Amino acid sequence: MEICTIGGFEEVGKNMTAVKIGEDVIIFDAGLYLPAIVEFQEKETETIYSEKKLRSIGALPNDLILDKLNWRDKVRAIIIGHAHLDHVGGVPFLAKRYKKAKIFATPFTIAVLESILEDEGITLKNRKYEIKEGSSFTLKGKSGKYKIEFIHSTHSIPQSSFVALHTNEGVFFYALDFKLDNYPIIGSPINYKKLREVARKRIKALVVDSLYSGTNRKTPSERIARNLVEDALSSVRNKNSALIVTTFSSHIARLKSIVDFGKRTRREIVFLGRSLYRYVKSAIKVNQCPFQKDIKLLRYKNQVNSFLKKVEKNRGKYLIVCTGHQAEPGSVLDRIIRDETPFKLKAGDNVIFSSSVIPSPVNIGNREKMDKILREKRVRTQTDVHVSGHGAREDIRDLIEILKPKHIIPAHGSLKEITPMVELARELGYKFGENVHLSSNGKVLKF
């Protein structure tokens, strides 16, 4: 078994891993590096993406390494674990390089991928297959047949899955991203029974989400975030002030909580922004949106501006849920705050951030600028009304103790973020360099 750690082993995002058995290669994820996209949007007025442009700004994983390894024509499948852009966003631009590869993902992830392809005007010739959580399929390659299991996980997006690749060399287990949430708002808890079953098959290598391996806690359940959302919305007293909530567009469970408690304010709930439209429409398509009848969904700039004229005249009538929690240039919240819409924020208006700042310099800088403007406008803000979708040290410990992999490969972060995983592995009896491996982008590990 050879594993090429293509992307996501030196940064948060750009996730991509390739596994080679004999004459067969299987790719796991092909994501974007979102901070590079944000920087590009700040500098350019037209955001027309192409493989060449995205490579030039460092937004795509450097999968050209597979050409050098002579692996490219051996790729049989692209497996996508979930629908976040740092896992699926590169597929529209890279999949065409792997003409023999079929694409496999859950129905929600396929719906999001189809939406991206439509928005970008891209047609992929690769066949796409929807794989239900908890199910498996057999992939035929030149060197044999491979059973591939999608095992239900919990994260901050619907239908997120662990993926187990069964080979004659043992099981390769892909665990990006996850937390052990025993009380999810939508869907069921992790399938612990199935994890134990797979562990008995001998897991040779585990690629594991190690972003918060240095945080000494278990990541709280989404149920806690639901309580925080309820408390934040209940504290808004002025019925004549504007009320804006922003969160991750892909976080359907969080959006459900915002809608559930937003209805108590007796305001009309309106979702604004392209990415919200994409993820909510995808959730509706696969019957994963329990609040679809309770909201109005607006996508285009002229629709948004027309609606915001109404808000300016009647601030207390609406609850706005919009894009812009990372202060992304051109997002709805960014345009509102910079007075680029018909609606202008006033002193006493409310903005709730049901999110955390993704730790990259560009995001941190943009949010600092946004927070400064909000303070100058004397807007009431509530920040970090949020719990993470990534497991911390104790989640990771529990997963490793269940799976008992022979080798561990930390992923999903810079060296600073994934190095604590080595110390955790030592606590569990692993030895650095022997069976726990700090990899880097483009490196090949042979087992």
Which tokens in the block code for residue 286?
């696969």
pLDDT score recorded for residue 46:
61
Edge-to-edge order in the sheet of strand 407-411: 136-141, 144-152, 161-167, 170-175, 203-209, 407-411
Backbone angles phi, psi at 112, to 5 degrees: -65, -45
**What distance in Å separates the CA atoms of residue 197 and residue 181, rounded to the nearest whole number?**
20
DSSP at 97: G
pLDDT score recorded for residue 73:
97
Sequential pLDDT tens for the chain (447 residues)? 999 999 999 999 999 999 999 999 999 999 999 999 888 877 765 667 899 999 999 999 999 999 999 999 999 999 999 999 999 999 999 999 999 999 999 999 999 999 999 999 999 999 999 999 999 999 999 999 999 999 999 999 999 999 999 999 999 999 999 999 999 999 999 999 999 999 999 999 999 999 999 999 999 999 999 999 999 999 998 889 999 999 999 999 999 999 999 999 999 999 999 999 999 999 999 999 999 999 999 999 999 999 999 999 999 999 999 999 999 989 999 999 999 999 999 999 999 999 999 877 888 999 999 999 999 999 999 999 999 999 999 999 999 999 999 999 999 999 999 999 999 999 999 999 999 999 999 999 999
Amino acid at 203: I
Q: Hey, which bits of 16-94 come out as E strands?
A: 16-21, 24-28, 75-79
User: Which CATH superfamily does the domain covering 2-218+389-446 fall into?
Assistant: Ribonuclease Z/Hydroxyacylglutathione hydrolase-like (3.60.15.10)
| Of 229, 247, 388, nearest in space to 326 by CA | 247
pLDDT score recorded for residue 263:
97
Q: Are 160 and 15 in contact (CB under 8 A)?
A: no
Where in the chain do CATH 3.60.15.10 domains reside?
Answer: 2-218+389-446
Which tokens in the block code for residue 168?
């004659």
Where in the chain do CATH 3.40.50.10710 domains reside?
Answer: 222-382
Note the CATH number of domain 222-382: 3.40.50.10710
Question: Can you give the pTM of this predicted structure?
Answer: 0.95
